């Protein structure tokens, strides 16, 4: 067994971890919205006005802070007027990217009702690719304006006399790809038009620009997108966040090799590199404005998830460990990462839960979100790791990276500290001394997510194969020793004396 040290400085509190880092994303894609969230007319599924109760309860338990909707690629071909008013009169349209019919039974008013039931903030992504500034500003007026207009009367007739107060507005999605195949400079010119009118309708909204995705560090199109966008968009008052997407793929979803397992955590370091690249452009072009990075799509995308099966895939312990490492990274970047939205809430990609008629199971990733809940809104602590490392290549032609076997972040609220640790080795337990500088520990309690094999998975046959178990920890003074098992995720609550 190898040895390690984690040092924490409880007095050195840094940035506040935005709760929005623990956000979600629901697209009209496969069975995410219809069946996953909306089950109107399916009498066997417990529901309240069309919203399935098991999913509401699961998201409420996580205290889900924010939900991005309606896409994804779907957003840049969505016309919001198709989704309001009497349900029978709504058209069935073509869901262009996901090759299915869109019945428009879930539209703005149903989505707002869903967000209210969960208790999360809605984040609406508007249509730049095939839409217009006119359509987008009308949508914002419909949602947020408090005065008397034809649109606000329509909203009242559709059930909400009060404005919805939607704070987050995305100006398109992946506009370098499915959102219109823009070059950075061209997107900037359209962005400024959309943002001008959105800002004028409601100056309090936060606007999210589409940023680059660094799939391949050698591809100049992606490397210059953010630079060209910022250069052609010299109006910092029009931008509050810039997006970044990162999907992870290493081997099969279940039958991955040990090498795939280790390379996946080098990919997390590549994501950190993406954050650095994005931040350096923001610092250069907007030195006097703090523009956040919204990683508004991220997660595992296994080869089994295809357009044909609505991007459905398996859910192993490895996926959950990846989520733990990525969320630890976002905590450490909470000075810049203002939001993150794992893709996607139900049934699709790295979701929280899978449904089948009235049945539902929670994925291993759900448990990581649950174990990390106390980080939301807490202050990041300074921490130092002295642990073994291994070498692996990250994605996109990046250099070989040195991956720490243990990855951790810590945060504090009052005298309570949460330390979350991912063991990123497939076979190495690490006996670790945790030292708290200049503080005495009253007690430590914790939970671990682990299994004999990282390929263990939750499904309808074994819904509880991967679930957290309590761990016992004895502390003395300001120190304790704990073994973080191979391929595990641990959350320890440390109560200071």
Looking at 174, 202, 228, 274, which residue binds ligand AHR (CB under 6 A)?
A: 174
- Residue 77 near ligand AHR by CB under 6 A: no
Q: Find the shortest distance in angstroms from Cβ 299 to ligand AHR.
A: 8
- CA-CA distance, 384 to 362, in Å (whole number)? 33
User: Residue 442: which of 406, 405, 478 has the closest Cα?
Assistant: 478
Strand partners, 359: 356
What is the token pair recorded at 261? 């397992």
Q: Find the shortest distance in angstroms from Cβ 24 to ligand AHR.
A: 12
- CA-CA distance, 169 to 334, in Å (whole number)? 21
- Residue indicated by tokens 């192993």: 316
- Residue 173 near ligand AHR by CB under 6 A: yes
Q: Which stretch binds ligand AHR (CB under 6 A): 71-79, 250-258, 278-286, 407-415?
A: 71-79
- Residue 319 near ligand AHR by CB under 6 A: no
- Residue 172 near ligand AHR by CB under 6 A: no
203, containing H or E segment? none
Q: What are the CA-CA distances from residue 76 to residues 65, 172, 179, 196, 357 (Å)?
A: 24, 6, 5, 19, 30
CB nearer ligand AHR, residue 73 or residue 494: 73
Q: Which stretch binds ligand AHR (CB under 6 A): 8-16, 67-75, 134-142, 284-292?
A: 67-75
Q: Find the shortest distance in angstroms from Cβ 72 to ligand AHR.
A: 3
Q: Find the shortest distance in angstroms from Cβ 173 to ligand AHR.
A: 5
What is the token pair recorded at 202? 């409601």
Length of the chain: 497
297 a catalytic residue: yes
Detail the DSSP E strand segments found in 273-352.
Answer: 292-300, 337-343
Helix, strand or coil, per DSSP, at residue 197: helix
Catalytic residue among 141, 297, 312, 428: 297
- CA-CA distance, 211 to 189, in Å (whole number)? 14
- Residue 72 near ligand AHR by CB under 6 A: yes
435 a catalytic residue: no
- CA-CA distance, 477 to 26, in Å (whole number)? 46
- Residue indicated by tokens 């060209």: 228
Q: Find the shortest distance in angstroms from Cβ 494 to ligand AHR.
A: 36
Catalytic residue among 174, 312, 314, 428: 174
Q: How many CA atoms lie within 13 A of 446 on its CB side?
A: 25
Window 10-39: contact mask with ligand AHR (x via CB under 6 A):
-----------------x------------
CB nearer ligand AHR, residue 173 or residue 450: 173
- Residue 394 near ligand AHR by CB under 6 A: no
Looking at 70, 71, 364, 468, which residue binds ligand AHR (CB under 6 A)?
A: 71
Q: How many residues bind ligand AHR (CB under 6 A)?
A: 10
Detail the DSSP E strand segments found in 89-205.
Answer: 93-95, 100-102, 121-126, 168-171
Looking at 56, 73, 207, 430, which residue binds ligand AHR (CB under 6 A)?
A: 73
Residues with catalytic function: 174, 297
Residue ranges that bind ligand AHR, judged by CB under 6 A = 27, 71-73, 173-174, 297, 343-344, 349
């Amino acid at each position: 067994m190898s040895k390690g040290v984690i040092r924490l400085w409880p007095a050195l509190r840094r940035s506040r971890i935005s709760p929005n880092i623990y956000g979600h994303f629901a697209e009209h894609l496969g069975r995410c919205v219809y069946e996953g969230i909306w089950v109107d007319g399916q009498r066997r599924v417990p529901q309240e006005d069309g919203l399935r109760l098991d999913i509401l309860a699961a998201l409420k338990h996580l205290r889900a802070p924010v939900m991005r909707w309606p896409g994804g690629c779907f957003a840049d071909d969505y016309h919001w007027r198709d989704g309001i008013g009497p349900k029978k009169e709504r058209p069935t349209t073509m869901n262009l990217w996901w090759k299915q019919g869109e019945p428009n039974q879930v539209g703005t008013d149903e989505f707002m009702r869903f967000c209210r039931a969960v208790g999360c903030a809605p984040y609406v992504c508007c249509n730049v690719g095939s839409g217009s500034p006119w359509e987008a500003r009308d949508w914002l007026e419909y949602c947020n304006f408090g005065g008397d207009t034809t649109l606000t009367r329509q909203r009242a007739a559709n059930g909400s006399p009060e404005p919805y107060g939607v704070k987050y507005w995305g100006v398109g999605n992946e506009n370098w790809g499915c959102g219109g195949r823009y070059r950075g400079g061209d997107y900037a010119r359209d962005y400024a038009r959309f943002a001008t009118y959105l800002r004028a309708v409601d100056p309090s909204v936060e606007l999210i620009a589409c940023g680059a995705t660094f799939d391949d560090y050698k591809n100049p199109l992606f490397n210059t997108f953010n630079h060209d966008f910022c250069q052609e968009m010299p109006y910092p008052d029009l931008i509050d966040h810039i997006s970044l997407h990162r999907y992870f793929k290493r081997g099969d979803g279940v039958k991955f090799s040990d090498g795939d397992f280790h390379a996946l955590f080098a990919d997390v370091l590549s994501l950190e590199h993406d954050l650095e690249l994005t931040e350096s452009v923001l610092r250069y072009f907007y030195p006097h404005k703090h523009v956040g990075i919204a990683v508004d799509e991220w997660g595992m995308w296994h080869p089994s998830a295809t357009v044909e099966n609505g991007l459905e895939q398996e859910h192993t312990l490895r996926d959950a460990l990846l989520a733990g490492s990525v969320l630890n990274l976002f905590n450490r970047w909470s000075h810049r990462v203002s939001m993150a939205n794992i893709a996607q809430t139900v049934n699709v990609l790295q979701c929280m839960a899978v449904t089948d008629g009235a049945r539902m199971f929670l994925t291993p990733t759900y448990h990581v979100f649950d174990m990390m809940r106390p980080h939301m809104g807490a202050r990041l602590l300074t921490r130092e790791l002295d642990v073994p490392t291994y070498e692996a290549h990250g994605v996109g032609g990046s250099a070989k990276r040195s991956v720490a076997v243990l990855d951790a972040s810590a945060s504090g609220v009052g005298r309570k500290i949460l330390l979350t640790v991912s063991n990123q080795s497939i076979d190495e337990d690490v006996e670790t001394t945790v030292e708290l500088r200049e503080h005495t520990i009253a007690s430590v309690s914790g939970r671990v997510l682990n299994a004999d094999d990282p390929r263990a998975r939750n499904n309808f046959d074994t819904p509880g194969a991967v679930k957290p178990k309590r761990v016992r920890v004895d502390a003395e003074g300001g120190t304790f020793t704990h073994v973080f098992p191979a391929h595990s995720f641990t959350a320890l609550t440390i109560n200071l004396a």
